[in-house]
Amino acid sequence: MNDLGRLEDLPEAYRHDLRAKNLVPLWPSLRGVLPPHIPTRQTAATHWAYQDIKPLLLQAGALTPIEKAERRVLVLANPGHTLEKMQASAAMYLGMQLLLPGEWAPSHRHTPNAVRMVVEGEGAYTTVQGVHCPMVRGDLILTPTGLWHEHGHDGTEPVIWLDVLDLPLIYYTETSYHINGDKQDVSSAQSGTDYAVGSVVPMHVFEATAADNAHRDSPLASYPILRYPWVVARDTLLALAQSAPDQKVLQVVYTNPQTGGDAQNILGFYALMVRPGETAQLPVCSPARVLHQIEGETEVVIADQTFAMEAADTCCAPGYTPVAIRNTSTTTPAFLFMADEAPLHRKLGVYERRA
């Protein structure tokens, strides 16, 4: 690699003249913005232990009433991006949210896409564009861009879930905003069972009536599933483990059954199973990844770092980096939720698999 001229090589008077006209010489920074062969990644391999988060989140419950918070969330911030940026990776935001019995997080909608992975507690629900979505441990609930959503809690114990948003990307592109709304009426617009079997899905034959057109034009029409129950993903993984005994990486992808494509536009969502005592080596790909332990215990090796993952722990890996998941139990399967930036990279034309 040839050395390029440095900024200090230029006369101060010339640099001053450039600055005064809002001009910058490229060559001192060329290698910085176009590094050789592999991108510079600020995303650092980072582990957040649930046993660290939970007491601090419960403290937030005592310190800040929901009315003062709207969303009572501790953000899992990647120190590589600096904590103030509230980013897990370039495009992913992670937050652990607490809702106490009887509390209500009021309706709003915003441009970032969000999902929730339910971590602990029973009795909470999210209403998404009028669709009632009960929150059960391991369920994935979508709140896609522009759809109204609010959270309520009829149970007796605190409920905690993990939020995954594409907020850093949406904020970076200067397209991030929200609108507050009124409490939603719950409609029967979507049933949890219409799409329960992927091989046979509803075919919407619309009558040309105003009401049916309104449904077709509704934001819900693009998102036929808003709640992916954990038992469905788990059963599919167990069946896959039986039918593919030589396969080490047992993975399912959360899809939109109407398109067969990713469940959302920007981030990809998956569930993984690792058999007792086995190690799953994930392919080296361009997108950053987030792993969240749903059941069991693993060791996640990200390049030269190893994280002990207990149930409800979360970690983050930069892109272009080898990731291996070792199930430390010899008797129980390990199940993880994964989010990545693959749909975004594919749309941008920068998706790569290197090994």
Contact 338, 271 (CB under 8 A): yes
Min separation Cβ 163 and ligand GTQ, Å: 3
Of 165 and 317, nearer to ligand GTQ (C-beta) is 165
Sign of the CA dihedral running 155, 158, 162, 167: positive
Whichever of 139 and 163 has its CB closer to ligand GTQ, that residue is 163
Nearer to ligand GTQ, 91 or 323 (CB): 91
Nearer to ligand GTQ, 267 or 325 (CB): 267
Per-residue binding string, ligand GTQ, 101-120, x by CB under 6 A, is ---------x---x------
Whether 252 and 245 have beta carbons less than 8 Å apart is answered as no
Choose, by CB under 6 A, the member of 43, 45, 95, 339 that binds ligand GTQ.
95
Query: Order of strands across the sheet with 131-134?
Result: 131-134, 124-128, 149-153, 104-110, 178-180
Residue numbers 120-159 binding ligand GTQ by CB under 6 A: 149
Q: Count other Cβ atoms within 10 Å, centred on residue 98.
A: 29
Residues 6+ apart with CB under 8 A from 207: none
294 near 138, Cβ under 8 Å?
A: yes
Binding mask 71-90 for ligand GTQ (x = CB under 6 A): x-x-----------------
Written as one string, the DSSP assignment of 44-62 is: PPEEE-HHHHHHHHHHHHH
The smaller minimum CB distance to ligand GTQ, of residues 71 and 346, is found at 71
Nearer to ligand GTQ among residue 163 and residue 166 (C-beta): 163
Minimum separation from the CB atom of position 33 to ligand GTQ (A): 30
Query: Which one of residues 43, 78, 97, 113 is an interface residue with ligand GTQ (CB under 6 A)?
Result: 97
The phi, psi pair for 22, rounded to 5°, reads 60, 45
Mapping DSSP onto H, E and C, the string for 216-252 reads HHCHHHHCCCCEECHHHHHHHHHHHHHHCCCCCCEEE
Backbone angles phi, psi at 196, to 5 degrees: -65, -30
Chain residue whose CB lies nearest ligand GTQ: 95
Among 139, 163, 166, 341, binds ligand GTQ (CB under 6 A): 163
Given the rule CB under 6 A, which residues bind ligand GTQ?
A: 71, 73, 95, 97, 110, 114, 149, 163, 165
